Protein backbone atom coordinates (compact mmCIF):
# COMPACT_ATOMS: atom_id res chain seq x y z
CA UNK A 1 0.00 0.00 0.00
CA UNK A 2 1.32 3.44 -0.98
CA UNK A 3 2.28 5.97 1.64
CA UNK A 4 -0.09 8.94 1.93
CA UNK A 5 2.52 11.32 0.48
CA UNK A 6 2.96 9.15 -2.64
CA UNK A 7 -0.70 9.20 -3.72
CA UNK A 8 -1.68 10.97 -6.95
CA UNK A 9 -4.98 12.86 -7.16
CA UNK A 10 -6.73 13.35 -10.51
CA UNK A 11 -9.28 16.13 -11.03
CA UNK A 12 -11.61 16.30 -14.04
CA UNK A 13 -12.12 20.00 -14.71
CA UNK A 14 -9.61 22.80 -14.31
CA UNK A 15 -11.67 25.80 -13.21
CA UNK A 16 -11.56 27.78 -9.98
CA UNK A 17 -13.02 24.97 -7.88
CA UNK A 18 -10.30 22.64 -9.10
CA UNK A 19 -7.72 25.33 -8.43
CA UNK A 20 -8.75 25.61 -4.78
CA UNK A 21 -8.73 21.82 -4.38
CA UNK A 22 -5.19 21.80 -5.81
CA UNK A 23 -4.09 24.52 -3.38
CA UNK A 24 -5.17 22.36 -0.43
CA UNK A 25 -3.69 19.19 -1.96
CA UNK A 26 -0.32 20.87 -2.42
CA UNK A 27 -0.32 21.90 1.26
CA UNK A 28 -0.47 18.15 1.99
CA UNK A 29 2.38 17.45 -0.43
CA UNK A 30 0.18 15.53 -2.88
CA UNK A 31 0.78 15.18 -6.64
CA UNK A 32 -2.17 16.48 -8.68
CA UNK A 33 -3.09 15.90 -12.33
CA UNK A 34 -5.78 18.03 -14.02
CA UNK A 35 -7.83 17.23 -17.12
CA UNK A 36 -9.20 20.33 -18.84
CA UNK A 37 -9.44 21.56 -22.47
CA UNK A 38 -7.88 24.96 -21.71
CA UNK A 39 -4.10 25.21 -21.66
CA UNK A 40 -3.07 26.99 -18.46
CA UNK A 41 -6.51 26.60 -16.87
CA UNK A 42 -6.90 28.06 -13.35
CA UNK A 43 -6.23 24.65 -11.77
CA UNK A 44 -3.67 23.67 -14.39
CA UNK A 45 -1.51 26.69 -13.54
CA UNK A 46 -0.67 25.24 -10.12
CA UNK A 47 -1.16 21.48 -10.60
CA UNK A 48 1.80 19.19 -11.19
CA UNK A 49 0.45 18.13 -14.56
CA UNK A 50 -2.41 18.94 -16.94
CA UNK A 51 -3.91 16.70 -19.62
CA UNK A 52 -5.37 18.89 -22.36
CA UNK A 53 -8.65 17.30 -23.42
CA UNK A 54 -12.40 17.77 -23.57
CA UNK A 55 -14.29 16.69 -20.45
CA UNK A 56 -16.06 13.97 -22.45
CA UNK A 57 -12.95 12.52 -24.10
CA UNK A 58 -13.04 8.84 -23.10
CA UNK A 59 -9.44 8.09 -24.01
CA UNK A 60 -8.03 11.02 -22.02
CA UNK A 61 -10.32 10.46 -19.02
CA UNK A 62 -9.11 6.87 -18.95
CA UNK A 63 -5.50 8.11 -19.12
CA UNK A 64 -6.09 10.41 -16.14
CA UNK A 65 -7.87 7.82 -14.01
CA UNK A 66 -5.27 5.09 -14.63
CA UNK A 67 -2.42 7.50 -13.93
CA UNK A 68 -3.89 8.55 -10.56
CA UNK A 69 -4.71 6.68 -7.35
CA UNK A 70 -7.93 8.64 -6.74
CA UNK A 71 -9.96 10.67 -9.26
CA UNK A 72 -12.55 13.33 -8.47
CA UNK A 73 -14.19 16.17 -10.41
CA UNK A 74 -15.08 19.84 -10.02
CA UNK A 75 -17.88 19.94 -12.58
CA UNK A 76 -20.90 17.71 -13.29
CA UNK A 77 -21.02 17.91 -17.08
CA UNK A 78 -18.58 15.11 -17.86
CA UNK A 79 -18.64 11.65 -19.45
CA UNK A 80 -20.06 9.24 -16.87
CA UNK A 81 -20.14 6.20 -19.17
CA UNK A 82 -16.35 5.87 -19.16
CA UNK A 83 -16.21 6.55 -15.41
CA UNK A 84 -18.61 3.67 -14.80
CA UNK A 85 -16.48 1.30 -16.91
CA UNK A 86 -13.33 2.36 -15.06
CA UNK A 87 -15.02 1.83 -11.67
CA UNK A 88 -16.05 -1.67 -12.76
CA UNK A 89 -12.40 -2.40 -13.55
CA UNK A 90 -11.42 -1.37 -9.99
CA UNK A 91 -10.45 2.29 -10.38
CA UNK A 92 -11.11 4.69 -7.47
CA UNK A 93 -13.47 7.54 -8.42
CA UNK A 94 -15.17 9.76 -5.82
CA UNK A 95 -18.01 10.60 -5.80
CA UNK A 96 -18.96 7.49 -7.82
CA UNK A 97 -20.43 7.75 -11.31
CA UNK A 98 -23.91 6.63 -10.14
CA UNK A 99 -24.13 9.78 -7.98
CA UNK A 100 -23.00 11.98 -10.85
CA UNK A 101 -25.59 10.35 -13.15
CA UNK A 102 -28.38 11.33 -10.73
CA UNK A 103 -27.15 14.86 -10.15
CA UNK A 104 -26.12 16.00 -13.62
CA UNK A 105 -29.66 15.41 -14.96
CA UNK A 106 -31.85 17.76 -12.94
CA UNK A 107 -35.01 15.76 -13.69
CA UNK A 108 -33.31 12.68 -12.18
CA UNK A 109 -32.43 14.85 -9.17
CA UNK A 110 -36.08 15.74 -8.73
CA UNK A 111 -37.09 12.07 -8.98
CA UNK A 112 -34.47 11.20 -6.37
CA UNK A 113 -35.78 13.87 -3.98
CA UNK A 114 -39.36 12.64 -4.43
CA UNK A 115 -38.36 9.00 -3.97
CA UNK A 116 -36.77 9.69 -0.59
CA UNK A 117 -39.49 12.12 0.56
CA UNK A 118 -37.10 15.06 0.65
CA UNK A 119 -39.12 18.30 0.43
CA UNK A 120 -38.83 20.02 -2.96
CA UNK A 121 -41.04 22.04 -5.30
CA UNK A 122 -43.65 20.41 -7.53
CA UNK A 123 -42.46 19.62 -11.04
CA UNK A 124 -43.38 17.87 -14.27
CA UNK A 125 -41.48 16.88 -17.42
CA UNK A 126 -42.11 19.49 -20.13
CA UNK A 127 -44.32 18.36 -23.01
CA UNK A 128 -44.54 20.97 -25.78
CA UNK A 129 -47.95 19.64 -26.83
CA UNK A 130 -49.41 20.44 -23.42
CA UNK A 131 -50.51 23.99 -22.52
CA UNK A 132 -48.20 25.24 -19.78
CA UNK A 133 -50.88 26.91 -17.71
CA UNK A 134 -52.80 23.63 -17.40
CA UNK A 135 -49.92 22.19 -15.38
CA UNK A 136 -48.90 25.23 -13.35
CA UNK A 137 -50.23 28.75 -13.15
CA UNK A 138 -47.94 31.55 -14.31
CA UNK A 139 -45.22 32.31 -13.43
CA UNK A 140 -43.59 28.91 -13.85
CA UNK A 141 -39.91 27.91 -14.01
CA UNK A 142 -38.53 25.94 -16.95
CA UNK A 143 -35.24 24.09 -16.31
CA UNK A 144 -33.03 22.28 -18.80
CA UNK A 145 -32.41 18.70 -17.65
CA UNK A 146 -28.70 18.92 -18.45
CA UNK A 147 -25.97 21.51 -18.93
CA UNK A 148 -27.29 24.39 -16.81
CA UNK A 149 -25.11 26.24 -14.31
CA UNK A 150 -24.75 29.72 -12.76
CA UNK A 151 -28.32 30.62 -13.72
CA UNK A 152 -28.02 29.28 -17.27
CA UNK A 153 -30.52 26.66 -18.35
CA UNK A 154 -33.25 28.26 -16.24
CA UNK A 155 -36.06 30.41 -17.65
CA UNK A 156 -38.99 31.95 -15.79
CA UNK A 157 -42.12 31.92 -17.95
CA UNK A 158 -44.22 34.78 -16.63
CA UNK A 159 -47.12 34.68 -19.10
CA UNK A 160 -48.29 33.26 -22.44
CA UNK A 161 -46.15 35.79 -24.31
CA UNK A 162 -43.00 34.37 -22.68
CA UNK A 163 -43.74 30.85 -23.90
CA UNK A 164 -42.27 31.61 -27.35
CA UNK A 165 -38.90 32.34 -25.66
CA UNK A 166 -38.81 29.05 -23.77
CA UNK A 167 -35.68 26.89 -23.57
CA UNK A 168 -35.21 24.70 -26.65
CA UNK A 169 -33.86 21.66 -24.82
CA UNK A 170 -35.07 18.62 -22.91
CA UNK A 171 -36.54 20.22 -19.81
CA UNK A 172 -39.13 20.20 -17.07
CA UNK A 173 -41.48 22.70 -15.48
CA UNK A 174 -41.26 23.56 -11.80
CA UNK A 175 -43.63 25.59 -9.67
CA UNK A 176 -42.42 29.12 -9.04
CA UNK A 177 -41.45 29.50 -5.37
CA UNK A 178 -42.08 32.88 -3.79
CA UNK A 179 -39.25 32.41 -1.32
CA UNK A 180 -38.02 34.55 1.55
CA UNK A 181 -34.35 33.49 1.34
CA UNK A 182 -32.11 31.22 -0.71
CA UNK A 183 -30.03 29.05 1.60
CA UNK A 184 -27.25 26.50 1.21
CA UNK A 185 -25.25 24.00 3.25
CA UNK A 186 -22.04 22.17 2.48
CA UNK A 187 -22.20 18.53 3.65
CA UNK A 188 -19.19 16.18 3.68
CA UNK A 189 -19.41 12.38 3.65
CA UNK A 190 -16.31 10.21 4.02
CA UNK A 191 -15.65 6.72 2.66
CA UNK A 192 -16.66 5.16 5.98
CA UNK A 193 -19.98 7.04 6.06
CA UNK A 194 -18.92 9.76 8.52
CA UNK A 195 -20.92 12.94 7.84
CA UNK A 196 -20.27 16.52 8.88
CA UNK A 197 -22.27 19.61 7.93
CA UNK A 198 -21.04 23.18 7.64
CA UNK A 199 -23.02 26.20 8.85
CA UNK A 200 -26.16 27.20 6.97
CA UNK A 201 -25.56 30.22 4.72
CA UNK A 202 -27.62 32.76 2.79
CA UNK A 203 -27.09 33.28 -0.94
CA UNK A 204 -27.80 36.68 -2.48
CA UNK A 205 -28.24 36.66 -6.27
CA UNK A 206 -27.65 39.26 -8.95
CA UNK A 207 -31.19 39.90 -10.21
CA UNK A 208 -30.08 40.78 -13.73
CA UNK A 209 -28.20 37.53 -14.42
CA UNK A 210 -29.53 35.21 -11.68
CA UNK A 211 -25.99 34.45 -10.54
CA UNK A 212 -24.88 34.30 -6.91
CA UNK A 213 -22.82 37.33 -5.94
CA UNK A 214 -22.84 37.23 -2.11
CA UNK A 215 -22.71 34.52 0.57
CA UNK A 216 -23.51 35.32 4.23
CA UNK A 217 -22.36 32.90 6.94
CA UNK A 218 -24.12 32.10 9.14
CA UNK A 219 -27.60 32.53 7.67
CA UNK A 220 -29.79 35.04 9.48
CA UNK A 221 -32.60 32.63 10.39
CA UNK A 222 -33.96 31.31 13.66
CA UNK A 223 -32.63 28.15 15.31
CA UNK A 224 -35.59 25.98 14.22
CA UNK A 225 -35.04 26.78 10.53
CA UNK A 226 -31.28 26.33 10.93
CA UNK A 227 -31.72 22.87 12.45
CA UNK A 228 -34.37 21.72 9.97
CA UNK A 229 -32.33 22.83 6.95
CA UNK A 230 -29.25 21.07 8.31
CA UNK A 231 -31.16 17.80 8.79
CA UNK A 232 -32.68 17.93 5.31
CA UNK A 233 -29.28 18.57 3.70
CA UNK A 234 -27.74 15.70 5.67
CA UNK A 235 -30.58 13.38 4.53
CA UNK A 236 -29.84 14.27 0.88
CA UNK A 237 -26.20 13.22 1.15
CA UNK A 238 -26.91 10.13 3.25
CA UNK A 239 -29.44 8.84 0.72
CA UNK A 240 -27.06 9.52 -2.19
CA UNK A 241 -24.33 7.57 -0.36
CA UNK A 242 -21.73 9.62 -2.15
CA UNK A 243 -18.19 10.32 -1.03
CA UNK A 244 -16.89 13.88 -0.96
CA UNK A 245 -18.27 17.36 -0.40
CA UNK A 246 -21.77 18.26 -1.60
CA UNK A 247 -23.49 21.63 -1.93
CA UNK A 248 -27.21 21.55 -1.08
CA UNK A 249 -29.19 24.63 -2.20
CA UNK A 250 -32.57 25.33 -0.61
CA UNK A 251 -35.44 27.80 -0.57
CA UNK A 252 -36.92 29.18 2.63
CA UNK A 253 -40.52 29.99 1.70
CA UNK A 254 -42.47 32.88 3.13
CA UNK A 255 -44.43 30.42 5.29
CA UNK A 256 -41.14 28.97 6.70
CA UNK A 257 -40.96 25.74 4.71
CA UNK A 258 -37.58 24.38 3.55
CA UNK A 259 -37.51 23.09 -0.04
CA UNK A 260 -34.42 21.58 -1.67
CA UNK A 261 -33.66 23.34 -4.95
CA UNK A 262 -30.57 21.53 -6.24
CA UNK A 263 -27.66 19.37 -5.08
CA UNK A 264 -24.11 19.74 -6.40
CA UNK A 265 -21.87 16.63 -6.10
CA UNK A 266 -18.73 18.69 -5.52
CA UNK A 267 -17.24 21.64 -3.73
CA UNK A 268 -19.53 24.62 -4.20
CA UNK A 269 -19.53 28.39 -4.49
CA UNK A 270 -21.62 28.63 -1.33
CA UNK A 271 -18.73 27.09 0.65
CA UNK A 272 -15.97 29.51 -0.34
CA UNK A 273 -16.33 31.30 3.00
CA UNK A 274 -14.92 28.18 4.70
CA UNK A 275 -11.35 28.95 3.54
CA UNK A 276 -10.98 31.80 6.04
CA UNK A 277 -14.17 31.31 8.03
CA UNK A 278 -13.95 27.69 9.23
CA UNK A 279 -11.43 25.43 10.93
CA UNK A 280 -11.39 23.17 7.84
CA UNK A 281 -12.12 24.54 4.36
CA UNK A 282 -14.51 22.66 2.08
CA UNK A 283 -11.56 22.01 -0.26
CA UNK A 284 -9.41 20.35 2.38
CA UNK A 285 -12.49 18.45 3.57
CA UNK A 286 -13.09 17.09 0.08
CA UNK A 287 -9.54 15.70 -0.04
CA UNK A 288 -10.03 14.16 3.40
CA UNK A 289 -13.27 12.52 2.19
CA UNK A 290 -11.94 10.95 -0.99
CA UNK A 291 -8.70 9.79 0.65
CA UNK A 292 -10.41 8.12 3.59
CA UNK A 293 -8.94 10.51 6.14
CA UNK A 294 -10.77 11.66 9.31
CA UNK A 295 -13.06 14.62 8.63
CA UNK A 296 -11.95 18.00 9.95
CA UNK A 297 -13.91 20.40 12.14
CA UNK A 298 -16.57 22.45 10.36
CA UNK A 299 -16.75 25.04 13.14
CA UNK A 300 -17.30 28.64 12.03
CA UNK A 301 -14.51 30.75 13.50
CA UNK A 302 -16.22 34.09 12.90
CA UNK A 303 -19.07 35.57 10.84
CA UNK A 304 -17.94 35.62 7.21
CA UNK A 305 -19.24 37.13 3.97
CA UNK A 306 -18.11 36.33 0.43
CA UNK A 307 -18.43 38.63 -2.56
CA UNK A 308 -18.12 36.92 -5.94
CA UNK A 309 -15.91 38.98 -8.21
CA UNK A 310 -17.79 38.99 -11.53
CA UNK A 311 -16.63 40.33 -14.86
CA UNK A 312 -18.13 43.74 -15.67
CA UNK A 313 -21.12 43.42 -18.00
CA UNK A 314 -19.57 45.90 -20.48
CA UNK A 315 -16.09 44.32 -20.62
CA UNK A 316 -14.57 41.37 -22.44
CA UNK A 317 -10.87 40.57 -22.88
CA UNK A 318 -7.69 40.49 -20.81
CA UNK A 319 -8.72 41.11 -17.18
CA UNK A 320 -7.79 44.30 -15.37
CA UNK A 321 -8.51 44.39 -11.62
CA UNK A 322 -9.21 47.76 -10.05
CA UNK A 323 -9.79 48.63 -6.41
CA UNK A 324 -7.48 45.90 -5.08
CA UNK A 325 -5.39 48.24 -2.91
CA UNK A 326 -8.42 50.02 -1.47
CA UNK A 327 -10.24 46.73 -0.73
CA UNK A 328 -7.28 45.17 1.06
CA UNK A 329 -6.99 48.23 3.29
CA UNK A 330 -10.24 47.09 4.92
CA UNK A 331 -9.61 44.93 7.99
CA UNK A 332 -10.68 41.32 7.47
CA UNK A 333 -10.71 41.34 3.65
CA UNK A 334 -9.03 38.43 1.82
CA UNK A 335 -8.74 38.30 -1.98
CA UNK A 336 -8.80 35.20 -4.23
CA UNK A 337 -8.08 35.68 -7.95
CA UNK A 338 -8.73 32.62 -10.12
CA UNK A 339 -6.16 33.24 -12.85
CA UNK A 340 -8.58 33.21 -15.79
CA UNK A 341 -7.03 34.69 -18.93
CA UNK A 342 -10.20 36.34 -20.21
CA UNK A 343 -12.96 38.29 -18.54
CA UNK A 344 -16.52 38.18 -19.88
CA UNK A 345 -19.78 39.72 -18.63
CA UNK A 346 -20.68 38.16 -15.26
CA UNK A 347 -17.90 35.55 -15.47
CA UNK A 348 -16.63 34.47 -12.03
CA UNK A 349 -13.09 35.85 -11.90
CA UNK A 350 -12.41 35.63 -8.19
CA UNK A 351 -13.92 36.30 -4.79
CA UNK A 352 -13.29 38.36 -1.68
CA UNK A 353 -13.88 36.99 1.81
CA UNK A 354 -14.67 39.38 4.66
CA UNK A 355 -14.26 38.10 8.23
CA UNK A 356 -15.50 40.11 11.21
CA UNK A 357 -16.63 39.46 14.77
CA UNK A 358 -20.10 40.83 13.94
CA UNK A 359 -22.14 39.74 10.94
CA UNK A 360 -23.53 43.26 10.43
CA UNK A 361 -20.00 44.66 10.14
CA UNK A 362 -18.94 41.93 7.71
CA UNK A 363 -21.95 42.68 5.48
CA UNK A 364 -21.28 46.42 5.59
CA UNK A 365 -17.64 45.87 4.59
CA UNK A 366 -18.74 43.45 1.86
CA UNK A 367 -20.90 46.10 0.19
CA UNK A 368 -17.96 48.53 0.25
CA UNK A 369 -15.77 45.89 -1.43
CA UNK A 370 -18.52 45.16 -3.96
CA UNK A 371 -18.55 48.83 -5.01
CA UNK A 372 -14.76 49.14 -4.98
CA UNK A 373 -13.39 45.93 -6.50
CA UNK A 374 -14.08 45.58 -10.25
CA UNK A 375 -12.97 43.39 -13.16
CA UNK A 376 -12.63 45.38 -16.38
CA UNK A 377 -10.66 44.57 -19.54
CA UNK A 378 -7.32 46.00 -20.64
CA UNK A 379 -8.61 46.17 -24.21
CA UNK A 380 -11.21 48.74 -23.14
CA UNK A 381 -8.35 51.12 -22.29
CA UNK A 382 -7.02 50.97 -25.86
CA UNK A 383 -10.05 52.76 -27.23
CA UNK A 384 -9.56 55.77 -24.95
Write out pLDDT tens, residues 218-236.
Answer: 999 999 999 999 999 999 9
Q: What does residue 31 show for φ and ψ, rounded to 5 degrees? A: -90, 130
Terminal-to-terminal C-alpha distance of the chain: 62
The domains of the chain are located at 4-93, 122-175, 179-382
Is the pLDDT higher at 24 or at 154? 24
pLDDT band at residue 157 using 50, 70 and 90 as cut-offs: confident
Write out pLDDT tens, residues 127-136.
Answer: 766 666 667 8
What mean pLDDT is reported for the chain? 93
**How far is Cα 367 from Cα 363, in angstroms, rounded to an integer?**
6
Write out pLDDT tens, residues 104-115.
Answer: 999 999 999 999
Q: Is the pLDDT of residue 152 over 60?
A: yes
Distances 131 to 30, 159, 160 between C-alpha atoms, Å? 55, 12, 10
3.20.20.70, 3.40.50.1440, 3.40.190.10, 3.40.50.20: CATH of 4-93: 3.40.50.20
Concatenate the DSSP letters of all residues of 160-229 into one string: GGGGGG---SSEEEEEPP-EEEEEEEEEEE-TT--EEEPPPEEEEEETTTTEEEEEEES-S--HHHHHHH
CATH topology of domain 122-175: Dna Ligase; domain 1 (3.30.1490)
Check whether domain 179-382 has CATH 3.30.470.20, yes or no: yes
Write out pLDDT tens, residues 36-84.
Answer: 999 999 999 999 999 999 999 999 999 999 999 999 999 998 999 999 9
pLDDT band at residue 179 using 50, 70 and 90 as cut-offs: very high
- What pLDDT is attached to residue 169? 83
CB–CB of 35/66 below 8 Å? no
Q: Is the pLDDT of residue 140 over 80?
A: yes
In three-state secondary structure terms, 319 is strand
**How far is Cα 243 from Cα 266, in angstroms, rounded to an integer?**
10
Model pTM score? 0.94
Distances 201 to 51, 189, 258, 327 between C-alpha atoms, Å? 35, 19, 13, 23
HSE-up of residue 264 (Cα within 13 Å, Cβ side): 23
**How far is Cα 151 from Cα 311, in angstroms, rounded to an integer?**
15
Amino acid sequence: MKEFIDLKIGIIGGGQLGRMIVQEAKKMGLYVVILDPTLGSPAGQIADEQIIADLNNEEKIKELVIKCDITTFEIEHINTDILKKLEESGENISPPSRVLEIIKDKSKQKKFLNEYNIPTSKWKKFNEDEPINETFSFPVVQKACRGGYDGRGVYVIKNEEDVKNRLRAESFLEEYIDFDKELAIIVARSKNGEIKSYPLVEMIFDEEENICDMIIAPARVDEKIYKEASEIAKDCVEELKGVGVFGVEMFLTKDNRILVNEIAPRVHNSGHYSIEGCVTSQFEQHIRCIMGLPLGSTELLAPTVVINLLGDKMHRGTPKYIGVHESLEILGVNLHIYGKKETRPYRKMGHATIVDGKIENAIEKAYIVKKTLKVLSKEADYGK
